[in-house]
């Protein structure tokens, strides 16, 4: 008898169209690892409302996120695909975990510090407790592995801390303790306009990000305008974050080591690097855009996948929640 597959789970916020950073840091690895795991992927629309969203846009982006997962190679026949808000247990377990997570821990989260600094005078409480809902997402499915970009590592460490804390209090079988999986290359793709900041789908400057539904020409234009560094030699070093970012993008998408790519540019200019990177990005993004558009147009196919996925997810999540409630004396 073969051992049951381990569970791999991840998610993206449908706060805007997905970016090349989301693809390289997350989606691509989900697709590469999927066949060896029992996969659970969803769109975290409850996380997205920690920042103001237009309801019509949110509905559209949520579906598009899942269509993009499939377009990026996730097999909808194998993976459980759904929308977070359709599985009420995520919010229910989050409340419980809130009671076992400390203010000090949440105050140290880098994402909270960054996002709250930009939120103005009124910082939504949800922005503060965001990682607790994420811990709930993960722990509900007895997850083993969570493939994410480098920025999410801290949240997964917090998830582990909460799980271990509760296992110590209520028994080792309360929660399975998950592990992050961070890619070796491309765990942190930088903005094309400010290579010292992460490429982010909610960046107010659209030129900093390549979106996965952009046309080939839009992508070429953005890469052509990418901010590079002073000097002209193509080298991989800290003092050239713009060049380094383009080299990283190429390396992640082609699988070639950065050193080999650098060697191929001996005597060439930044312009060459930009044009080549643009073509490599177009080759990866173009089929994803076409397939996601097709899936968005074929409404009933996605509806069916999401309905089946939510049903499967609710059954799994209810089982975990029942176990946790029993351990805690809540039933």
CA pair distance 160, 44, nearest whole angstrom: 20
Tokens read off for 318: 């209810």
The answer to whether residue 115 is catalytic is yes
- For residue 234 the two structure tokens come to 């193509």
Please report whether residue 289 would count as binding ligand ATP according to CB under 6 A: no
Residue nearest to ligand ATP (CB): 25
**Binding residue for ligand LTN (CB under 6 A) from 48, 70, 129, 137?**
137
Options 144-152, 190-198, 226-234, 313-321: segment touching ligand LTN (CB under 6 A): 144-152
Q: Is 35 a catalytic residue?
A: no
**Candidate list 66, 187, 249, 302; residue touching ligand ATP; CB under 6 A:** 187
Count of residues interacting with ligand ATP (CB under 6 A): 21
Residue 9, H or E segment: strand 6-12
- Give one DSSP letter per residue of 239-250, joined into a string: T-HHHHHHHHHH
> Please, what is the Cα angle at 258 between 254 and 263, to 5 degrees?
105
Q: Which does 134 bind (CB under 5 to 8 A by kind): ligand LTN, ligand ATP, none?
A: ligand LTN
Minimum CB separation of residue 110 from ligand LTN in Å reads 11
- Least distance between ligand ATP and beta carbon 12 (Å): 4
> Is position 17 an interface residue for ligand LTN (rule: CB under 6 A)?
no
CA 98/CA 324 separation, integer angstroms = 14
CB closer to ligand ATP out of 10 and 174: 10
Residue 146 lies near ligand LTN (rule: CB under 6 A)? yes
Q: Residue 310: name the closest of 82, 5, 65, 142 by CA.
A: 82
Marked catalytic residue, from 201, 222, 240, 274 = 201
Judged by DSSP in three states, 28 sits in helix
Candidate list 7, 8, 9, 15; residue touching ligand ATP; CB under 6 A: 15
Work out the number of other CB atoms within 10 angstroms of the CB of residue 221. 13
Tell me which residues in 36-95 interact with ligand LTN (CB under 6 A).
44, 47
Binding segment (CB under 6 A) for ligand ATP, from list 1-9, 68-76, 88-96, 145-153: 145-153
Return d(Cα 320, Cα 326) in angstroms, integer. Answer: 10
Q: Which of 76, 73, 137, 132 is nearest to 106 (CA)?
A: 132
- Return the residues of window 148-207 that contact ligand LTN according to CB under 6 A: 148, 152, 155
Contacts of 245 (CB under 8 A, 6+ apart): 189, 190, 192, 195, 226
Stretch that binds ligand ATP, among 32-40, 69-77, 143-151, 162-170 (CB under 6 A): 143-151
| Cβ partners under 8 Å of residue 189, min gap 6 | 19, 20, 21, 24, 25, 149, 198, 199, 245, 248, 249, 252
List of residues contacting ligand LTN (CB under 6 A): 9-11, 13, 44, 47, 134, 137-138, 146, 148, 152, 155
List of residues contacting ligand ATP (CB under 6 A): 12-13, 15, 19, 21-22, 24-26, 148-149, 151-152, 187-189, 198-202
Q: Which residues are catalytic?
A: 115, 198, 201
């Amino acid at each position: 008898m073969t051992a049951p597959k381990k569970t791999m789970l991840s998610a993206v916020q449908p706060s805007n169209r997905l970016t090349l950073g989301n693809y390289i840091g997350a989606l691509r690895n989900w697709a590469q690892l999927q066949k060896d795991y029992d996969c659970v992927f969803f769109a975290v629309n409850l996380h997205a409302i920690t920042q103001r969203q237009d309801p019509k846009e949110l509905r559209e982006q949520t579906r598009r996120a899942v269509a993009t997962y499939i377009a990026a190679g996730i097999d909808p026949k194998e993976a459980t695909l759904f929308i977070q808000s359709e599985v009420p247990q995520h919010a229910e377990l989050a409340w419980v975990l809130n009671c076992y997570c400390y203010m000090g821990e949440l105050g140290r989260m880098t994402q909270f510090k960054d996002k709250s600094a930009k939120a103005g005078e009124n910082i939504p409480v949800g922005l503060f407790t965001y990682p607790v809902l994420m811990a709930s997402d993960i722990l509900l499915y007895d997850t083993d592995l969570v493939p994410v970009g480098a920025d999410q590592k801290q949240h997964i460490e917090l998830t582990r801390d909460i799980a271990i804390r509760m296992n110590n209090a209520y028994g080792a079988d309360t929660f399975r303790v998950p592990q992050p999986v961070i890619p070796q290359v491309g765990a942190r793709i930088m903005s094309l306009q400010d290579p010292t900041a992460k490429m982010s789908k909610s960046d107010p400057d659209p030129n900093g990000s390549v979106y996965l539904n952009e046309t080939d020409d839009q992508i070429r234009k953005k890469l052509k305008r990418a901010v590079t560094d002073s000097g002209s030699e193509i080298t991989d070093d800290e003092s050239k974050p713009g060049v380094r970012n383009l080299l990283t993008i190429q390396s992640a998408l082609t699988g070639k080591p950065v050193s080999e790519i650098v060697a191929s540019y001996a005597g060439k200019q930044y312009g060459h690097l930009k044009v080549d990177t643009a073509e490599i990005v177009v080759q990866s993004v173009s089929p994803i855009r076409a397939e996601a558009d097709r899936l968005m147009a074929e409404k009933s196919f996605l509806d069916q996948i999401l309905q089946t996925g939510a049903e499967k997810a609710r059954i799994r999540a209810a089982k975990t929640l029942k176990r946790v409630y029993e351990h805690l004396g809540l039933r």
